[in-house]
Amino acid sequence: MITGFAYAQDSGKIGGTVVDSNGVPLPGATIQIVELNLGAVTDFNGKYSLENVPEGEHSITVSFVGYKAYKENVTVIAGQTTELNITLQEGENVLDEVVITAGKKLQKITDVPATVEVITAKEIAEFPSFNIGEMASRQKGVDFVRTGVLGTGINIRGFNSAFNSKNLQITDDRVSMLIATGLPYGSFSTVTKDDIERVEILLGPNGTLYGPNAHNGLVSTITKNPRTSEGTTLVFGAGNQNVITGRLRHAQVINDRLSFKVHLERTAGKEFNYVDSVYVGTTAYNEHNLDRDFDALKYGGAVHYKTGKQSELIGYYGHSNNTNLAVTNAGRNQIKDWTLDIAQLKFVSKNFFANTYYTWSRTDETYAINQRTQNYVSFIENGFSEDEAWSRALYEQWVPAFGIAIPRGALFKDASERFNGEAQYNNNWNNFYLTVGAQYQLDMADSEGTYLLDADGPIEIGQAGVYSQFEYKLDSGWNFLLGLRADNHDLYGTNFLPKAAVTKSIDAGTFRLTYGRGMAVPSILNLKGNLFGGLVLGNGEGFTLTDGTKINALEVETINSFELGFKGKISDKLFIDASAYYNMSENFISPLRNIVDAENGNFVTHIGDTPVDEVSPGASTSAFLLTYSNFGSVDTYGFDLGLNYYFTDALRASLNYSYFGRSLDTNDLDNDGNLDGVVLESELPINTPANKANIGLHYSTDKFYGAIFGRWIQDYDFFSGINVAAETQDMDGDGVNEIVENAQVGRTWNYGQLGGFTVDANFGYNLNENVSLGVNVTNLFDTDIREFVASPTIGRLISFELKYNLNFFNKNK
């Protein structure tokens, strides 16, 4: 709409508001009169003003990443204001998607010098399940695993394990990794599904802007701003395995400056009927007193206060409480009322960003099922009562040969805390763009003496980083990027993480060539673990064996990654995203492995310079001592391909394929995982399928929406600590099969390789503008497939959701 108002000056003025198709204001949209080199940017309310515009007709261009460009000719009259209110339409294809995470700023996805997968707000809204983690299975380059009804996880580009901390996860600029273990939050997240705006998954190292442990990849969850998502959402869901869920989200704008949001979720159910084997010698026992019920409560809220036209202060608090089963590389854990709390204060403006938050974690009753069951058996078989055996099994194991109980703690307590702070400045001068920043993190891990070497109090480790990134963009379509981070760790000194990229945009899309260096810093558990009375010890100081063999203390794992890619269109309906990469990893941090060779009398004598029995009594005669170590070097390489074909605006087909391979130097004794003088391919398990693919069909209209996905994972071996899922094989070339399928292998039962083919589907119907009903089916044909070690076969899962959504913008239009 264009109207005129009096404006007392020789030139005229153009002003108005820019909104999306739902009437939601779009802050940051660019309005330009190109021939006059005159422009403006909308504020948080979507308002803009072009001052001192010469009289006459001018062509106005409005652009915002992720939306179709808008053009209109406007006549300006001297002394008057021309009002131009603009509605932008969302882009219709994957090339119009917008990402924030890659460069810590809004960018069109084709401009990003990285492979990025985006789970959009629309896809999330049309996925009728409480477990948004399932949606990662539909992305290319992502290794998705499922441990049960509740447990889902991802890995990126190789070297997965039951304790995988190589992929950094963040939520609204908060590190979403547990303090002591470094593991992703998973179900511990304080954020509910309906408050999520999008999830961005970056493949490959991204440590320059985000720091240590954005090693193989980065997963960023971004929640909704209440000012652009005002309304109330109520959800009731149910499914098989006794699943029931309820969610509430409310967002409201109080005035021009103040808005807020709150969210709440409660989900409960029962895991699949699967009981793992616990071995005492060669005798198998069922996990004792297994509780398959899970329960997750989470709630939180945020207050947004506009301190200026282009600045905002945000305060957030979130809480979660979890009871469930969790897979580890030493058996399964019974998580009991593990709480997580986060308090955050963040300031955002056009050129400056500041962020600080505090995290605290609490549990008093969580325990290791495997170890507690072993302890329990030792008491029961020696005449103790049921109650005494189960109670003492939290702390001790009975040794009949000596008639005493020895420390074999199975209880996990946690009172860990973490402080984070960050500041960043960004600006641009014509074609030159600058981002500089600094980050600080202080971990204060406290297990109250249960699973860490922290008898003297919390383990405190600080790390600080400074970073800068420069971009130079040419009108010809060339873009050059150079970044550098210096990261200082209390234990590992200063490490440098460089990044470089060249991109070239053409009409059909963008080519990119990138280099990045990443690092994985050992977690506090890697360094200071003390589990099960010393059966698992962290390797922060190194070990000495009876024969004098030295196992060096853990070092930082590094990766240098090169990637060549293209994202663009092959035709008006067919879009492609393809990338090939080559990674060079050094000082690879292994999964847990036994360093004792009891048959040859080779035991652990020292940890660092201290006799091991002073750290863990009895460890010098233990036939098992599991720890972590560094391997020498390994090269990995792969290829990711994504295709999207639009039959119509409502109907789209997708195809994703990924290949992963490695090259291990078997002549390098640094790669000798079991220290027997021979390097075997099996000693550095990649725990990643060589080939995987999925194909999907997506349909979405105002009334009906749905998707169906076929997912194929090539069978592959998986080794992690005591866990084995592998085909029958001779590991050391001596003619004897150390790994036998469907048989006991070490301290676990080997069900064989992981992988297979499944079909997932979801569909829904919008009964009216406020009410929708949806159904999601995982493993539609109930295929017998196992996706992770120490986990059940994943049967069919069905969930229903009834959603009531009152959008204030629609109501007020």
Residue 760 has pLDDT above 90, yes or no: yes
Tokens of 740: 């036998």
Q: What are φ and ψ of residue 470, in 5° steps?
A: -120, 135
Cα 758 from Cα 405, distance rounded (Å) = 48
Listed in order, the ranges of the chain carrying CATH 2.40.170.20 are: 98-521+556-592+628-812
pLDDT band, residue 202 (cuts 50/70/90): confident
pLDDT score, position 66: 59
Residue 813 has pLDDT above 60, yes or no: no
**Largest distance between two CA atoms of the chain:** 102
Tokens of 26: 């779009």
pLDDT band, residue 97 (cuts 50/70/90): low
Looking at CATH, the fold of the domain delimited by 2-87 is given as Immunoglobulin-like (2.60.40)
Give the tens place of pLDDT for each residue, 467-512: 999 999 888 889 999 999 999 999 999 999 999 999 998 888 889 9
pLDDT band, residue 726 (cuts 50/70/90): very high
pLDDT score, position 161: 84
Picking from 306, 302, 307, 304, the residue whose alpha carbon sits closest to that of residue 342 is 302
Q: Calculate the alpha carbon distances from 439 to 312, 343, 423, 488, 489 in Å.
A: 20, 17, 7, 10, 12
pLDDT band, residue 761 (cuts 50/70/90): very high
Q: What is the dihedral of CA 594, 600, 606, 607, to 10 degrees?
A: -10
Give the pLDDT mean for 184-207: 89
Residue 41 has pLDDT above 80, yes or no: no
Give the pLDDT mean for 282-298: 94
pLDDT score, position 1: 44
Point out which residues pair with 635 in neighbouring strands.
584, 663
Q: Calculate the alpha carbon distances from 635 to 154, 157, 587, 638, 662 in Å.
A: 21, 12, 12, 11, 6
Residue 9 has pLDDT above 60, yes or no: no
Cα 5 from Cα 13, distance rounded (Å) = 10
Q: What are φ and ψ of residue 299, in 5° steps?
A: -155, 160
pLDDT band, residue 593 (cuts 50/70/90): confident
Q: How many helices (H) and strands (E) does the chain have?
A: 7, 57
Least confidently predicted of 300-304, 415-419, 532-536: 532-536
Tokens of 425: 């400045």
pLDDT score, position 266: 97
In CATH, the architecture of 98-521+556-592+628-812 is Beta Barrel (2.40)
Close Cβ partners of 559 (under 8 Å, ≥ 6 residues apart): 205, 215, 216, 517, 518, 519, 520, 583, 584, 585, 586
Point out which residues pair with 462 in neighbouring strands.
442
The H-assigned helical ranges of 271-418 are 369-380, 386-392
Name residue 173's amino acid: D
Yes or no: say if 532 and 368 are a contact pair by the CB < 8 Å rule: yes
Yes or no: say if 674 and 723 are a contact pair by the CB < 8 Å rule: no
Give the pLDDT mean for 574-601: 87
Residue 811 has pLDDT above 50, yes or no: no
Residues across the chain: 813
- Residue 27's SS3 state is coil
Tokens of 754: 């992981």
Choose the most confident range, by mean pLDDT, from 39-48, 130-139, 264-273, 473-482: 264-273
**CA pseudo-torsion sign 595, 601, 606, 611:** positive
Least confidently predicted of 138-152, 463-477, 558-572, 680-694: 680-694
Cα 720 from Cα 523, distance rounded (Å) = 17
Residue 111 has pLDDT above 70, yes or no: no
Least confidently predicted of 83-97, 433-447, 486-500, 680-694: 83-97
Q: Calculate the alpha carbon distances from 498 to 211, 466, 493 in Å.
A: 11, 12, 17
Picking from 499, 540, 545, 537, the residue whose alpha carbon sits closest to that of residue 518 is 499
Q: Calculate the alpha carbon distances from 674 to 76, 584, 729 in Å.
A: 79, 22, 17
Name residue 544's amino acid: T
pLDDT score, position 272: 94
Give the pLDDT mean for 369-380: 95
Listed in order, the ranges of the chain carrying CATH 2.60.40.4130 are: 2-87
pLDDT score, position 241: 95
Point out which residues pair with 228 in neighbouring strands.
none
pLDDT score, position 720: 85
The H-assigned helical ranges of 507-605 are 524-528
pLDDT score, position 25: 74
Least confidently predicted of 33-37, 309-313, 433-437: 33-37
> What is the reported pTM?
0.87
pLDDT score, position 322: 97
Tokens of 325: 């089963």
**Number of neighbouring beta carbons within 10 Å of residue 10:** 10
Residue 21 has pLDDT above 80, yes or no: no
**Number of neighbouring beta carbons within 10 Å of residue 639:** 15
The mean pLDDT value of the chain amounts to 88
Picking from 294, 460, 288, the residue whose alpha carbon sits closest to that of residue 367 is 288
Give the pLDDT mean for 511-519: 92
pLDDT score, position 670: 72
**CA pseudo-torsion sign 662, 666, 670, 674:** positive
pLDDT score, position 49: 87
pLDDT score, position 8: 43
Cα 190 from Cα 184, distance rounded (Å) = 12
Give the pLDDT mean for 411-419: 96
- For residue 381, what is the DSSP state? T
Burial 738-767 (b: 16+ CB within 10 A, else e): ebebeeebebbbbbbbbbbebbbbbbbebe
Yes or no: say if 653 and 644 are a contact pair by the CB < 8 Å rule: yes
Give the tens place of pLDDT for each residue, 519-567: 889 999 999 999 888 888 999 999 999 998 888 999 999 999 999 999 8
Helix (H) or strand (E) holding 210: helix 207-210
